[in-house]
Structure 1
Amino acid sequence: MNSKPKHTSALHEKDGISPPDFISKDSVASIKKNRRKQPSVDELVTGILNQDKVALSRAITLVESKNNTHLAKATEIIEKCLPHANKSIRIGITGVPGVGKSTFIEAFGKHLTGLGKKVAVLAVDPSSSISSGSILGDKTRMEDLVKDENAFIRPSASGDSLGGVARKTRETIILCEACGFDTIVIETVGVGQSETAVHSMVDFFLLLKLAGAGDELQGIKRGIIEMADAIVINKADGDNVKRAQMARTEFKRALHLYPMKASEWLPKVITASALKQEGIDDVWQLISEFHKTTKANSYFENHRKQQNRFWLLQTIEERLKHNFYNNSNVKKVLDDYLKATENSTISPFHAAQQLLELLNS
Structure 2
Amino acid sequence: MDIEELTRGIAAGERRALARGITLVESGRADHRARATELLEALRPLGRQALRIGLSGTPGVGKSTFIEAFGLMLTGQGLRVAVLAVDPSSARSGGSILGDKTRMEHLSRDPKAFIRPSPSQTHLGGVARRTREVINLCEAADFDVILIETVGVGQSETVVSEMSDLFVLLLAPAGGDELQGVKRGIMEMADLILVNKADGDLKPLAMRTCADYAGALRLLRKRAQDPEGFPKALTVSALEEAGLEKAWEEMQALIDWRRENGHWAARRADQACFWFASEVREGLLARLTREPVKGAMAALSERVGKGEMTAAAAARELLDGYLSGRG
1:139 to partner: Cα distance = 0.3
1:86 to partner: Cα distance = 4.0
User: Aligned equivalents of 1:182 and 1:70: distance in 2?
Assistant: 28
What residue number does 1:290 align with?
254
**What does residue range 152-163 of structure 1 map to in structure 2 within 5 Å?**
152-163=114-125
What residue number does 1:168 align with?
130
Letter paired with 2:59: P
Distance of aligned partners of 1:329 and 1:209 in 2 relative to their CA distance in 1, 3 Å threshold: same
What residue number does 1:300 align with?
264
Q: What secondary structure is seen at the aligned counterpart in 2 of 1:92? A: strand
What residue number does 2:65 align with?
103
1:217 to partner: Cα distance = 2.3
Alignment pair present for 1:264 and 2:226: yes
Q: What secondary structure is seen at the aligned counterpart in 1 of 2:289? A: helix
Match of 2:39 among 77, 88, 92: 77
What residue number does 1:19 align with?
none
Match of 2:313 among 350, 353, 357: 350
Alignment check: 8 A CA contact 1:163 1:198 kept: yes
Q: Which runs of 5+ in 2 are unaligned?
A: none
User: Aligned equivalents of 2:310 and 2:95: distance in 1?
Assistant: 33
1:346 to partner: Cα distance = 4.5
User: Aligned equivalents of 2:29 and 2:88: distance in 1?
Assistant: 22
What residue number does 1:7 align with?
none
Distance of aligned partners of 1:340 and 1:247 in 2 relative to their CA distance in 1, 3 Å threshold: farther
Alignment pair present for 1:203 and 2:197: no
Alignment check: 8 A CA contact 1:85 1:175 kept: no
Alignment pair present for 1:134 and 2:96: yes
User: Aligned equivalents of 1:95 and 1:333: distance in 2?
Assistant: 43
Alignment check: 8 A CA contact 2:120 2:127 kept: yes
Distance of aligned partners of 1:175 and 1:164 in 2 relative to their CA distance in 1, 3 Å threshold: same
User: Aligned equivalents of 1:215 and 1:178: distance in 2?
Assistant: 43
User: Aligned equivalents of 2:111 and 2:93: distance in 1?
Assistant: 35
Letter paired with 2:129: R
User: Aligned equivalents of 2:305 and 2:93: distance in 1?
Assistant: 23
1:213 to partner: Cα distance = 1.3
User: Aligned equivalents of 2:159 and 2:301: distance in 1?
Assistant: 30
**What does residue range 245-284 of structure 1 map to in structure 2 within 5 Å?**
245-265=207-227, 266-284=230-248
**What does residue range 179-190 of structure 1 map to in structure 2 within 5 Å?**
179-190=141-152
Distance of aligned partners of 1:345 and 1:105 in 2 relative to their CA distance in 1, 3 Å threshold: farther
User: Aligned equivalents of 2:150 and 2:245: distance in 1?
Assistant: 22
1:169 to partner: Cα distance = 1.0
User: Aligned equivalents of 1:47 and 1:323: distance in 2?
Assistant: 34
Alignment check: 8 A CA contact 1:63 1:172 kept: yes
User: Aligned equivalents of 2:304 and 2:195: distance in 1?
Assistant: 48
What is the CA deviation profile of residues 124-153 of structure 1, one whole-angstrom value per residue up to 9, with x for unaligned ones?
A: 112245654432501001111111111111
What is the CA deviation profile of residues 331-351 of structure 1, one whole-angstrom value per residue up to 9, with x for unaligned ones?
A: 224444445555665443333
User: Aligned equivalents of 2:91 and 2:308: distance in 1?
Assistant: 28
Alignment check: 8 A CA contact 2:155 2:183 kept: no
Match of 2:3 among 32, 41, 46: 41
User: Aligned equivalents of 1:309 and 1:252: distance in 2?
Assistant: 32
User: Aligned equivalents of 1:123 and 1:195: distance in 2?
Assistant: 13
Alignment check: 8 A CA contact 2:3 2:38 kept: yes
Match of 2:293 among 313, 330, 338: 330
User: Aligned equivalents of 2:208 and 2:181: distance in 1?
Assistant: 14
Distance of aligned partners of 1:352 and 1:151 in 2 relative to their CA distance in 1, 3 Å threshold: same
Give the paired residue count: 322
1:173 to partner: Cα distance = 0.7
Letter paired with 1:148: D
Distance of aligned partners of 1:346 and 1:194 in 2 relative to their CA distance in 1, 3 Å threshold: farther
Distance of aligned partners of 1:56 and 1:236 in 2 relative to their CA distance in 1, 3 Å threshold: same
Q: Which runs of 5+ in 1 are unaligned?
A: 1-38
Alignment check: 8 A CA contact 2:71 2:107 kept: yes
Alignment check: 8 A CA contact 1:62 1:74 kept: yes
User: Aligned equivalents of 2:190 and 2:307: distance in 1?
Assistant: 44
Distance of aligned partners of 1:358 and 1:226 in 2 relative to their CA distance in 1, 3 Å threshold: same
Distance of aligned partners of 1:198 and 1:215 in 2 relative to their CA distance in 1, 3 Å threshold: farther
Among all aligned residue pairs of Structure 1 and Structure 2, give the percentage whose two residues are the same amino acid. Answer: 48
Q: What secondary structure is seen at the aligned counterpart in 2 of 1:97? A: coil
Alignment pair present for 1:239 and 2:201: yes
